[in-house]
A and B are shown apart, each in its own frame.
Chain A
Amino acid sequence: MNWNWLNRNTDQILSWLLAHLWLAALPTLLGLLLALPLGAIAFRYRWSYAALITVAGLLYTIPSIALFVVLPGILGTRILNPLNVVVALTLFTLALLVRVVADALDSVPPPVRQSATAMGYRPIRSLLTVQLPLAIPVIGAGLRVAAVSNVSLVSVAALLGVPQLGQLFLVGFQLDFYTPIIAGIVLCLLVAAVFDTIILVAVRLATPWTRAVSHR
């Protein structure tokens, strides 16, 4: 490791780190927000389940670099526009989470649902205040996978000139120099670990009842 090089380029690395953070975080959040209603629809209406899961599976099959390249042609954006990355990763997150949300809602035991109905909860209220909270641990597990892979996928966009930590890899390759590459990998792993921890803590805070049971 050449610490001098890192010292000299701290500002540049920090700005790439910041870009990387929001390029990975924003699609994760947007994907989750879109996946919740779509997953609920897939859960509620059986006919839409097969259709949504098939489309999601197909979308998930497309390599990220292919999507990064093709999206500007569809969206009319420039190829280096970070928006392409946000849209592509939002689609991937959505594709992963639709199924997770639908299956998580489905895994709530029927007696719980029936109790809510018996207590006079209408379907929407039962979904939002009973089933969704109970599905949080499973959705959280899916979200962790999505967030962590997004961090790794963002760096691929460096090949198309979008500035973020992936640039460190290209710089290292051009200079035949290990320091930026190792720094990039370590920072990516750190960002992934931070995201993972945030989601883990959020899930714990949102599901106090799971701890009440496990401590008995």
Chain B
Amino acid sequence: MTGAWDWLTTGANWSGASGVWARLLEHLWYTMLALAVAIVIAMPIGAAIGHTGRATGLVSGLANALRALPTLGLLILLALWGLSTFKGDIALLGPAITVLVILAIPPILSNTYAGIAAVDPAARDAAIGMGMTGREVLAKVELPVAMPLIMSGIRSAFLQVVATATIAAVVSLGGLGRYVIDGYNQQDYSKMVAGALLVAVLAIVGDRILALIGYFMISPGLTGRKVRARATTADMVVAIRQEGGSTVLEPANQAGARS
């Protein structure tokens, strides 16, 4: 433990191509790329499923099956396939990002779907009654109301991706996992622990930052963050619902897969 502290306080370990800053940047790059791709894929599909109510059984089944899938196995399987199929950087980076995207999709997809499916029918009816089209109902009522759950899905996905990006070092990718894997191979326990602590800090800080972003992305009508002079209909319906002791804001869906 004290060895890890010495390692972390040695300035030389922080600079250069294998220094902490460079590794941290790599780790963040893999994580953000995978998360962005997963959001682009999962949110529209989740929204479509939640809005139409079709294929709901498929989603929960898929999410459960993916939770059981060993990430290390999937990563190595795709990495071997990538090495035999592509040349250059993409041979490893492609499969690794693919695995991260596969892991990030279920929490985002199922939370988007669940959030929209849980929207109060009265809010939806009110929106239709105001003359909104299906698209408008989705964009102006359902998605904003589902946003707390969607954000918690994105947070679960982030944690999953940060953890698995660490494991990606085993197929000789960069990122903070390098310290854990290299430290193990060099029997340098201090380096391993330093890497592990950095990953843990990254996960916790990133989770807090996403929580903060979520707080500001969620409609003020839902959080009561500030009183607005003129509330929209959806806000009012939601506000009425909250006064009735509803649980639409129940944020944590911690039941996501983890790694």
- C-alpha spacing A65/B147, complex, angstroms: 31
Across-interface contacts of B48 in A (CB, < 8 A): none
Q: Are A169 and B72 interface neighbours, CB within 8 A?
A: yes
Partner of B1 from the list A74, A155, A158 (CB cut-off 8 Å) is A74
Query: A188 and B67 in contact (CB under 8 A), knowing A66-B197, A149-B258, A159-B170?
Result: no
Q: Are B196 and A65 interface neighbours, CB within 8 A?
A: yes
Q: How does the 8 Å CB contact mask read for B50-83 relative to A, with 1 for contact and 0 for none? A: 0000000000000011011111111011011001
- C-alpha spacing A68/B183, complex, angstroms: 14
B218 contacts the other chain (Cβ, under 8 Å)?
Answer: no
Q: Are B177 and A169 interface neighbours, CB within 8 A?
A: no
Query: A166 and B203 in contact (CB under 8 A), knowing A160-B184, A181-B80, A182-B77?
Result: no
- Comparing B14-22, B94-102, B226-234, B249-257, the segment that makes contact with chain A is B249-257
- C-alpha spacing A196/B68, complex, angstroms: 10
Across-interface contacts of A192 in B (CB, < 8 A): 67-68
- Comparing A33-41, A121-129, A170-178, the segment that makes contact with chain B is A170-178
Q: Are B181 and A159 interface neighbours, CB within 8 A?
A: yes
Q: Are A65 and B180 interface neighbours, CB within 8 A?
A: yes
Report the minimal beta-carbon distance from B65 to chain A, rounded to whole angstroms.
8
Report the minimal beta-carbon distance from A95 to chain B, rounded to whole angstroms.
8
Partner of A188 from the list B73, B184, B254, B257 (CB cut-off 8 Å) is B73
Q: Are B207 and A61 interface neighbours, CB within 8 A?
A: yes
Specify the main secondary structure of chain A where it touches its partner.
helix
- Most B CB atoms within 10 A — which of A142, A182, A189? A189
Partner of B68 from the list A73, A152, A182 (CB cut-off 8 Å) is A152
Query: A153 and B259 in contact (CB under 8 A), knowing A65-B166, A69-B195?
Result: yes
Partner of A159 from the list B84, B167, B254 (CB cut-off 8 Å) is B167
- C-alpha spacing A96/B192, complex, angstroms: 26
Query: A92 and B258 in contact (CB under 8 A), knowing A62-B200, A62-B204, A148-B67?
Result: yes
B199 contacts the other chain (Cβ, under 8 Å)?
Answer: yes
Q: Are A152 and B67 interface neighbours, CB within 8 A?
A: yes
Across-interface contacts of A165 in B (CB, < 8 A): 70
Q: Are A185 and B193 interface neighbours, CB within 8 A?
A: no
A193 contacts the other chain (Cβ, under 8 Å)?
Answer: yes
Across-interface contacts of A66 in B (CB, < 8 A): 163, 166, 180, 196-197, 199-200, 203
Report the minimal beta-carbon distance from B252 to chain A, rounded to whole angstroms.
7
User: Footprint of B on A, CB under 8 Å?
Assistant: 57-58, 60-70, 72-74, 79, 92, 96, 99, 142, 145, 148-149, 151-153, 155-156, 158-161, 165-166, 168-170, 172-173, 176, 178, 181-182, 184-185, 188-189, 192-193, 196
User: Footprint of A on B, CB under 8 Å?
Assistant: 1, 4, 64-65, 67-74, 76-77, 79-80, 83-84, 159, 162-163, 166-167, 170-171, 177, 180-181, 184, 189, 192-193, 195-197, 199-200, 203-204, 207, 252, 254-255, 257-259
